[in-house]
Structure 1
Amino acid sequence: MASEEENLSKTLEESDHDEEMPTASETLATATASSSDDSGSEEEADEGADELRIQALEQALRNQPLDYDSHLQYVNCLRKSGEIEKLRNAREEMNRLFPLSPKLWQDWIGDEISLNQGAEAFAEIEKLYERAVQEYLSVPLWCDYINFVQERDESVLQCSPNGATKMRELLERAITVAGFHVTEGNKIWEAYREYEQALLLTIDEENTEEKAKQNQRIRSLFHRQLAVPLTNIKATLMDYKAWEADQGNSNDMDNELDGVPPNIALNYQKASAAYNARKQYEDQLSSPVQSEADKLQHFMNYIKFEESSGDPARVQILYERAISEFAVSSDLWLAYTNYLDRTLKVASILKSVYYRATRNCPWISELWVRYLLSLERTNSSEEEIKSVFEQSLQCAFQTAKEYLDLYLTRIDGLRRRFSLDQRDFDFQLIRQTFMDASDSLSAQILPEELLSLHKYWAKLEINLGKDIIAARGVWDNLIKKSGSTLESYEGYIAMEVAMGNLNEARAIYKRCYAKRFAGTGSEDICHSWIKFEREHGTLEDYDVALKKVTTRLNEVMLFKAQQESKGKIDHSSVSVKETTSSPLKRKPDQKSSAKAPLAKKRRQNTEKIEEKPQPDHGRMEVDSKEQLEKEEEGKEIEKPKPEFYNDQCTAFVSSLNLRTNEEDLKSFFSDCGGATAVRLVRDKVTGKSRGFAYVDFSDDQHLQAAIAKNKSSLHGAKLSIARSNPSRSKNSRSGTAGSSRGRGTGRRFPPRNESKSTEEERNPSKEKEKVTFAAPRSLMKPLGWNKKDDKGKDEAGGGEQLKSNEAFRNLFLKK
């Protein structure tokens, strides 16, 4: 049977990235070999090796504080060396980060008992036992706890009333937690009966009334145990009949139920039948030849059977048995918590299980979401809920969507509490949570998710905060962050219309009707404005909107027509690419080429030379392959080249904490040496870090030293460090950066706009290609205007002058 330590260590190893730092085992092996070479004697070599092992493990834990295996080895080394204080601190730190297995708790408590024998130490050891029995179900650990209190507690030893009460409460707790364990639960029942029988011996023979009460307690324990399906239930019945015979109640030992009260006999028969029904499942679990996957499946089948029987206590204890052996199975924890939420709904049990679930599987966001909801259902305090929420944000989830779900769960809970009691609840807490979610997730979540978050925010600002100014600020903030999407403006307008603020809605239409939106968005916003004015505006408002929208729609139609025309030309050019030198003309035969008028050829060549220095408006109009190469060469000379990095000796660092800056990275790699430059990628609008960077090194040796720090923590985030591959394009590298996973406390989801940033760095001139619809035509040509239009006019009319704005508008209206 695999131990809990092996399960947890295995999961941690599987969740780490392939590129890892040297393991603690490798470090220890090196340290041991070095110590053996330098020592003069075997004993001195062992002492030196132990010291080096401890130092190596301390360094490993500083680099990887969440390495369970290193913690385990460190505790074992300190236990062997006898450094008591360091051992206590190491165990406390390990338990702060991870639950400890029953075996680790038994070792810890055993060491403390051997070191401390006085009465003052009793209370501290008792606290350790209380912590131990709350983490995993362990019948041996409960038995140790019972024996310790029975042997070391003065009040229990003296059989005082307070001591008896304390001992019975402890034993009842043990029965509740472990007494239904089919194969080991009878140990708790027997310990309970032995204690009560020991108390019976201390009662004075003349005190018949007290002895009768004590006998009834023992009889009641027998009756309770005989109603529980446990191993050796028949032997328990024989012990009961023998005890009754000692009390003077004769019975026939050969007749199984002779002398047993009818109701107890009926319960015994039911318990025996229940045990027989479960025996096949217990045999499967106890089989020594089976894989962990098979054993987990046997547990799930067993749990399904218990759920069908309808006894929540038996289902719960079976889940606890499974958890004690498969502590990091997220599916098991999810099934367990789901069952408790549906069935038991006991506040103390729910809190305990969710607390342990999130400690064993902190990377499962669904467990944290359920934990928050469970705390709200059980009317927990705001301080407790806030503490759990803040802990959840420090965990490492795979996607930004998981963090968004946590924020929304927290906001939902705050909204419900604010609605119930506005006097004792500050709306600023809701607003601050929205702000934190927006600031930390805007660059990572999908646009529709970001829109939904801000729409919810604005709605609460109006309904709960009663602050329309703040709600408008929410929409303005979204428009700034999302790049003026159509949905953002539509949501903003819908809010103003719902509030009856028609002038404000009209002002938003005027802000956005001339903007360029994806797909049919430009036409949609224009039609939406006209509809708005028909339903809400005056005739003057309608005329103004119609005039502006008509001009805008004509511009959009012209632009799309020219784009479609260009697409057709490009399509035809592909089909004759190999047979013509001009993409606009069909290739003439040699005879027609030879007979072409000399004047026409001269005019064509002149036009080509005149067109060459003119700016490119998005269409490549060239007459030959040589002409294209010349124009491209000219562009490269005229435009400043952006700075590129070949990444020949560069480390790519991802999963950075968003507050980490260049100086922090320089300091982090200072021990590696050779770092020549740090390039932290930032958002071009906000200037905030996107969570990844490139660090250049002078040579390969220093680069390898930096890569060896993979999975190290910086500002609470577990970094992913790998060699930057110069053979890949920047688009490919930005699409995969930050996708490595590790088990740390920092956030590890990839920036969504990474590829966009790389494209902008590669082509900084793209911003110049944006079309400005509202510019005067005397300064800028309308959409779709190109050099061919100028050339056609020159040929036809000898260089026609551009029309005025009014003349151009009248031309469209006539059409």
Structure 2
Amino acid sequence: MEKVEKSPISTEEEEDTEMGEGDVVENPKASSKSSSDSESSDSEDEAEQNEQLQTLESELSTNPSNYDAHVQYIKLLRKRGEIEKLREARENMNALFPLSPSMWMEWAKDEASLSDDSGFEAVEKLYERGISEYLSVSLWCEYLNYAQEHDPEVRQCSADGISKARNLFERAVTAAALHVAQGFRIWDAYTQFEQAILLTIDHSDIQAKEKQVQCIRSIFHRHLSIPLANLRATLLAYKAWEVEQGNALDAESDTVDGISSHVASAYQKAEEMYNARAHHEEQITRQDISESERFQHFVSYLEYEQSFGDPARVQILYERAITDFPVSSDLWLDYMRYLDKTLKAGNVVKDVYSRATRNCPWVGELWVRYLLCLERGHGSEKEISSVFEKSLQCTFSTLEEYLDLFLTRVDGLRRRISSARGDDVLNYSLIRESFQQAADYLSPHMKNADGLLRLHAYWARLELKLGNDLVAARGVWESLLKTCGSMLEAWQGYISMEIELGHINEVRAIYKRCYSKRVSGTGSEDLCHAWLRFEREFGTLEDLDHALQKVTPRLKELQLFRLQQESKSVIEATDKREKTSQKTAREKRKSGSSAIDEQSPAKRQKNTSQYQKKLHEKENTQGKNVAEANDGEGKKGKVDKPVNEQQMKDTGPGKTRLYTDQCTAFISNLDYKANYEDLRQFFSDVGGITSMRILHDRFTGKSRGLAYVDFVDDEHLAAAVMKNKQMLLGKKLSIARSNPKQRERESFVLNAPGGHEDASNRSGIDGSSASKESVESPKGSRVPQSTASKRVENFQLKGKNTFAVPRNVRPLGWTSNKPETREEGDEKPKSNDEFRKMFMKT
């Protein structure tokens, strides 16, 4: 801290311009030039300072909450010596923020240097304001020294002056003497003051001298019983002072030998306590750690002190912590909770709450606790109202904090009006004004919020109980419905109030208003059902019929709307899922193709053949019945697509691709985006599914909207057929029992490579197929079955195409007993003459 001399606010520091006798000015022109340069530099500095002042003044006029701007403005005014502006700037800053101890010391010293002893009271008030904001041993010591030097009564050592000084020292001891690191400074100053008083007492006044000696000895004893730094130096000073009083002690020894037993015991205990806290003191005073680390050390230290349960020591440590971390709201809240638990109420607690809200005005909980503290201490309505109005000028981070503040204010008014206690005459109009103020502020920002509903419900209840005004209570609900008309709870609260009052017709009128409203969630349906329930319990049969007439079409409309919304959401989810799977498949193909492209065609064919061979051997070992798919291998040198491991796993040992459709449901009009999981969910209430197969287009791979689902028995199949015309993904499914009549054709299809696909997978001359189907095993895993993977050599497909005919749907005129006919094109080719004769006949 820079020490302020006699004129600390001077514009420039005075320099010694006197010259010695031997000094000679060798170059007057150079001296003149130097002087002009100095004047030019000063003018430039002054212009720069004026510009800074204007900038800071403009900033503070637009943003008075800028703390740093206040600090810079005060420093610049102090440098320029503008006393009146400096006082005003300090007052303006202190009206918004607490000042640091160093700023208070600077202010008090500046004012002390500008006034004589007649201005002692003004400076004394500055010190009093400073010590009330933060705990600072240095500020207390400055205050004590100033009082001894400039207070006329204390300086004259009059009885009143000595009593006044002692009271000030006792206040300092109470406030700061338990400060482990610096508290000894207060005790040392107190001891020195009393020793100075001893010197002023006449030697002949033995009684007065003995009384003063006992006073000094008592201060030493109190000092030695407190765990403070520099405790051994205090013991040596005490023993030296006792030697001066004629007691035989070893003043050079730092042991307790020679002093009374109770003092020695207290000293040893204090020393042990200090040693136990020395580590914590070292941690919180370290300069080589971050602020967050130091804060955590303070927290640990506080937990340690609280474990001993000494409120005075804990409070001093909290004061030290908030002096170092004044804007930590968590620290202030912890401090408040501790005081509420230990001291409950009183001026000390109220002072802490006041300082907390000045340091962290943006924290709503601090203001709420402050209002409760004032009420707990039976504060006046004027004081509570003033604090509440101050809180509304602050900016909180959430609307819930504003709501909590308004509700706390109303709670206090309600309690005091109900108890009819205190000198203040309160009436219900204060509650109504507070509610209205809260509604005006919060309604635009909390539309359809639970907090706004809670506020109005509380308001309406108090209008009935304290205000005895039913019209006003209804008006509260009506005002809420203007803002939250789509909120189910708002209508329910209004209806509940009327039901409790027994106003049946009013309730019915409200239901007629709200049943057709669009309410969030399932609120519309809930209101319709609530109206019917109300009419059953309170209305006549005609009232119930009327409600049914109104509600039934509304419920149907809502049900249709829900189905549309669900279908839309399912489609969107399916689209998203398919896009993700397609993207993954593309990435896999891309990564796989890069490795294959690096190989030559001959090498790829060789590797594929080797892989096919290994896979075939593995399949035979596991008992897989897939040998039929490899019958044509080697006949024409074609390399088949390898069957992947998942297919072999899903087929399972001993399972074949023979589908007799003895207990199978055929499903059509299936949504193209439906998958096996959707089918499984659809038939989850039926159960008994053994496998599922969805038909896909051979070339595009897209679903054809057809599927087969096999069940374990006829009972489950019948239950599945009963679900015919039910919705799945927004489409009505057609579900029928699969019942093919052509056994010969079925046998032919079962032996074909496509398996279950009937004629839909018959191969052409080139061995290609027009469609494929994927198979779901009983375990639920998909097994895509590729058709035309092998050419079948034991048949030829001739005649008209019967491509993709479902097994329970046959072309017109095609029966199982119809004999097989041969097309004319299958006979021996005719010659030109035969053709000519055939046409000439016609």
- In the TM superposition, what are the counterparts of 1:620-635 in structure 2 within 5 Å? none
Q: 1:228 maps to which residue?
A: 226
CA–CA separation in structure 2 for the residues paired with 1:561 and 1:439: 39
CA–CA separation in structure 1 for the residues paired with 2:484 and 2:232: 73
CA apart distance, 1:344: 2.6
8 Å CA contact 2:371, 2:409 repeated in 1:
yes
Q: 1:217 maps to which residue?
A: 215
Unaligned runs of 5+ residues in structure 1 are 2-37, 577-582, 587-815
- Which residue identity lines up with residue 350 of structure 1 in the other structure? V
Structure 2 residue 180 is the aligned partner of structure 1 residue 192 = no
CA–CA separation in structure 2 for the residues paired with 1:373 and 1:330: 18
- Which residue identity lines up with residue 473 of structure 1 in the other structure? G
Structure 1 residues 442 and 574: alpha-carbon distance in aligned structure 2, compared to 1, 3 A threshold: closer
Q: Output one character per residue of 1:112-169: Cα deviation in whole Å (capped at 9) or x when no partner.
A: 11111141x1111100010011111111111110011111111111222211111111
8 Å CA contact 1:569, 1:584 repeated in 2:
no
8 Å CA contact 2:428, 2:466 repeated in 1:
yes
8 Å CA contact 2:531, 2:547 repeated in 1:
no
8 Å CA contact 1:175, 1:189 repeated in 2:
yes
CA apart distance, 1:558: 4.4
8 Å CA contact 1:418, 1:425 repeated in 2:
yes
8 Å CA contact 1:334, 1:367 repeated in 2:
yes
CA apart distance, 1:573: 13
- In the TM superposition, what are the counterparts of 1:67-78 in structure 2 within 5 Å? 67-78=66-77
8 Å CA contact 1:458, 1:471 repeated in 2:
yes
CA–CA separation in structure 1 for the residues paired with 2:572 and 2:278: 79
Q: 1:136 maps to which residue?
A: 134
- Aligned mate of 2:244, from 231, 246, 251: 246
Structure 1 residues 566 and 413: alpha-carbon distance in aligned structure 2, compared to 1, 3 A threshold: closer
CA apart distance, 1:481: 1.7
Q: 1:536 maps to which residue?
A: 538
- Aligned mate of 1:521, from 510, 520, 523: 523
CA–CA separation in structure 2 for the residues paired with 1:160 and 1:317: 33
Q: 1:703 maps to which residue?
A: none
- In the TM superposition, what are the counterparts of 1:409-488 in structure 2 within 5 Å? 409-421=408-420, 424-445=425-446, 446-488=448-490
- Which residue identity lines up with residue 237 of structure 1 in the other structure? L
Q: 1:109 maps to which residue?
A: 108
CA–CA separation in structure 2 for the residues paired with 1:309 and 1:104: 35
Deviates more, 1:82-91 or 1:380-389: 380-389
Structure 1 residues 516 and 379: alpha-carbon distance in aligned structure 2, compared to 1, 3 A threshold: same
Structure 1 residues 273 and 386: alpha-carbon distance in aligned structure 2, compared to 1, 3 A threshold: same
CA–CA separation in structure 2 for the residues paired with 1:146 and 1:456: 54
Q: Output one character per residue of 1:278-323: Cα deviation in whole Å (capped at 9) or x when no partner.
A: 1111122232321112211111111111111111111111111121
- In the TM superposition, what are the counterparts of 1:602-751 in structure 2 within 5 Å? none
CA–CA separation in structure 1 for the residues paired with 2:404 and 2:120: 46
- Which residue identity lines up with residue 461 of structure 2 in the other structure? K
- Aligned mate of 1:161, from 147, 159, 163: 159
8 Å CA contact 1:39, 1:48 repeated in 2:
no
- In the TM superposition, what are the counterparts of 1:314-353 in structure 2 within 5 Å? 314-353=313-352
- Aligned to 1:195, the other structure's residue is in SS state helix
CA–CA separation in structure 2 for the residues paired with 1:95 and 1:558: 65
8 Å CA contact 1:363, 1:396 repeated in 2:
yes
- Aligned to 2:133, the other structure's residue is in SS state coil
CA apart distance, 1:448: 1.6
- Which residue identity lines up with residue 420 of structure 2 in the other structure? D
Q: 1:29 maps to which residue?
A: none
CA apart distance, 1:386: 1.2
- Aligned to 1:215, the other structure's residue is in SS state helix
- In the TM superposition, what are the counterparts of 1:235-314 in structure 2 within 5 Å? 235-253=233-251, 254=253, 256-314=255-313
Structure 1 residues 566 and 471: alpha-carbon distance in aligned structure 2, compared to 1, 3 A threshold: closer
CA apart distance, 1:562: 6.8
Q: 2:831 maps to which residue?
A: none
8 Å CA contact 1:179, 1:189 repeated in 2:
yes
Number of aligned residue pairs: 541
CA apart distance, 1:255: 7.5
- Which residue identity lines up with residue 327 of structure 2 in the other structure? V
Q: Output one character per residue of 1:239-268: Cα deviation in whole Å (capped at 9) or x when no partner.
A: 222222322332344472233222222111
TM-score (norm 1): 0.63
CA apart distance, 1:419: 1.2
- Which residue identity lines up with residue 377 of structure 1 in the other structure? R
Deviates more, 1:185-194 or 1:445-454: 445-454
- Aligned to 1:316, the other structure's residue is in SS state helix
Q: 1:367 maps to which residue?
A: 366
8 Å CA contact 2:318, 2:335 repeated in 1:
yes
CA–CA separation in structure 1 for the residues paired with 2:117 and 2:520: 78
Q: 2:694 maps to which residue?
A: none
Q: 1:387 maps to which residue?
A: 386
- Aligned mate of 1:202, from 197, 200, 203: 200
Deviates more, 1:165-174 or 1:525-534: 525-534
8 Å CA contact 1:530, 1:546 repeated in 2:
no
Structure 1 residues 469 and 401: alpha-carbon distance in aligned structure 2, compared to 1, 3 A threshold: same
Q: Output one character per residue of 1:178-210: Cα deviation in whole Å (capped at 9) or x when no partner.
A: 101112111101111111111122222232222
- Aligned to 1:41, the other structure's residue is in SS state helix
Deviates more, 1:463-472 or 1:516-525: 516-525
Structure 1 residues 569 and 174: alpha-carbon distance in aligned structure 2, compared to 1, 3 A threshold: closer
8 Å CA contact 2:177, 2:186 repeated in 1:
yes
Q: 1:748 maps to which residue?
A: none
- Aligned to 1:182, the other structure's residue is in SS state coil
CA–CA separation in structure 2 for the residues paired with 1:252 and 1:570: 93
Deviates more, 1:269-278 or 1:296-305: 296-305
8 Å CA contact 1:523, 1:553 repeated in 2:
no
Structure 1 residues 564 and 332: alpha-carbon distance in aligned structure 2, compared to 1, 3 A threshold: closer
What percentage of residue pairs aligned between the two structures are identical?
52
CA–CA separation in structure 2 for the residues paired with 1:376 and 1:316: 23
- Aligned to 1:515, the other structure's residue is in SS state coil
CA–CA separation in structure 1 for the residues paired with 2:289 and 2:573: 65
Q: Output one character per residue of 1:742-771: Cα deviation in whole Å (capped at 9) or x when no partner.
A: xxxxxxxxxxxxxxxxxxxxxxxxxxxxxx
Q: 2:649 maps to which residue?
A: none
Q: 1:493 maps to which residue?
A: 495
Bigger RCO (CA 8 Å, 6+ sep):
1
CA–CA separation in structure 1 for the residues paired with 2:166 and 2:526: 76
Structure 1 residues 515 and 298: alpha-carbon distance in aligned structure 2, compared to 1, 3 A threshold: closer
- Aligned to 1:465, the other structure's residue is in SS state coil
Q: 2:682 maps to which residue?
A: none
CA–CA separation in structure 2 for the residues paired with 1:523 and 1:215: 90
- Which residue identity lines up with residue 426 of structure 1 in the other structure? N
CA–CA separation in structure 1 for the residues paired with 2:566 and 2:310: 71
CA–CA separation in structure 2 for the residues paired with 1:284 and 1:569: 63
CA apart distance, 1:409: 1.3
- Aligned to 1:140, the other structure's residue is in SS state helix
Structure 1 residues 47 and 209: alpha-carbon distance in aligned structure 2, compared to 1, 3 A threshold: same
Larger radius of gyration: 2
CA apart distance, 1:484: 4.8
8 Å CA contact 1:150, 1:167 repeated in 2:
yes
CA apart distance, 1:566: 9.2
8 Å CA contact 2:111, 2:123 repeated in 1:
yes
